[in-house]
Chains A and B, each alone.
Chain A
Amino acid sequence: MFQIRKSPHIYDIAVIGSGASGGMTAHVLTSQGFDVAMLEAGPMRSPSEFPTHRLRRWNLPYRGLRGDYMQEWLEATHFFADTAKEPYASEGDPFEWVRVRAVGGKSLFWAGVVPRFSPDEFIPKDDFDTRWPIAYEDVAPFYDRVEEFIGVTSTLEGAGAFQPNRGLAPQRPNCAEVELKRAAESLGGRNLKALPIPKAILPVDHKGRPKCHHCGPCWQGCDSGSKFDAMRVLVKRALATGKLTLMTGARVRSLRMDNENRISSVYYWDVKDRTYREVRARYFVLGAGCIESTQILLNSGIANSSGLVGRYLSEHLYGSVDGYLPQLAGRKVINEDSNGANIFIPDLTRNWRGGKFIRGYQIYPTGGISETTMVGMRLPGFGPAWKEKVREYYTAGASVLMQGEVLPYRENRIEVDERLADDAGIPGVRFHYRWHDNEKAMFADFLEVSTEILRKAGAEIPQSATPPKPFAHGASIHYVGTARMGNDPKLSVVDKWNRSHDIPNLLINDASVFVTAGNQNPTLTILALALRSTEKLAQQMSKA
Chain B
Amino acid sequence: MSELTLTDRRSFLLQAAALWQTATVLSAQHIHSVPAAKTIPYQFRFLSTDERTTLRIVMARIAPADEHSGGAEGAHVDEYIDFILSHADSELQAIWHSGLKRYASAIPTKSPAAVDAFLTKQALKEFAPQTEDEIFFMLLKTAVVEGFYTSEEGIKNELGYQGMGFVLDWQGCTHEHHQAPADWQPLLKTRSGGLI
A residues with CB within 8 A of B: 53, 55-67, 72, 75-78, 82, 171-175, 177-179, 212-217, 324-331, 333-338, 342, 369-384, 386-387, 389-394, 458, 460, 462-466
Contact = CB atoms under 8 A, between A and B. Distances in A.
A180 to B, nearest CB: 11
Given A65-B24, A391-B159, A382 B164 contact: no
Contact of A387 (B63, B116, B123): B63
A386 B166 CA distance: 32
B188 A460 contact: yes
Contact of B163 (A58, A171, A336): A336
A328 B126 CA distance: 27
B61 A327 contact: no
Given A65-B146, A372-B149, A379-B188, A465 B195 contact: yes
A371 B167 CA distance: 16
Contacts of B168: 213
A403 to B, nearest CB: 22
Closest 4 pairs between A and B when the two form their complex, measured CB to CB: A172-B172, A326-B180, A63-B150, A66-B24
Given A61-B28, A213-B166, A333 B149 contact: no
12 contacts: A66-B24, A178-B172, A179-B178, A213-B168, A215-B167, A333-B161, A337-B164, A369-B162, A371-B161, A374-B149, A380-B187, A392-B181
Contacts of A82: 32
A53 B164 contact: yes
Given A174-B173, A391-B158, A383 B28 contact: no
A472 to B, nearest CB: 13
Contacts of B141: 376-377, 382
A462 B188 contact: yes
A287 to B, nearest CB: 28
A278 to B, nearest CB: 32
Nearest to B34: A76
Nearest to A463: B190
B28 A62 contact: yes
Given A77-B34, A175-B173, A327 B188 contact: no
B173 A464 contact: no
B25 to A, nearest CB: 5
Interface residues of B, number: 70
Given A57-B155, A387-B158, A460-B186, A337 B172 contact: no
Nearest to B32: A75
Contact of B188 (A59, A338, A378): A378
Interface in B101-153: 116, 119-120, 123, 126-127, 141-142, 145-147, 149-152
B159 to A, nearest CB: 5
B89 to A, nearest CB: 14
A389 B191 CA distance: 18
Interface of B: 21, 24-25, 27-28, 31-35, 61-64, 66, 68, 71, 80, 83-84, 116, 119-120, 123, 126-127, 141-142, 145-147, 149-152, 154-155, 158-168, 170-173, 175, 177-181, 184, 186-196
B28 A338 contact: no
A386 to B, nearest CB: 8
Given A213-B168, A372-B149, A380 B189 contact: yes
Contacts of A376: 141, 145, 149
A55 B160 CA distance: 18
Contacts of A336: 163
A55 B36 CA distance: 11
Contact of A58 (B152, B177, B189): B152
Contacts of B193: 465
A462 B190 contact: yes
A327 B178 contact: yes
Contact of B155 (A337, A372, A381, A465): A372
Given A65-B24, A371-B163, A465-B192, A174 B172 contact: yes
Nearest to B69: A387
A240 B160 CA distance: 45
Contacts of B116: 383
A377 B145 contact: yes
Contacts of A329: 180-181, 184
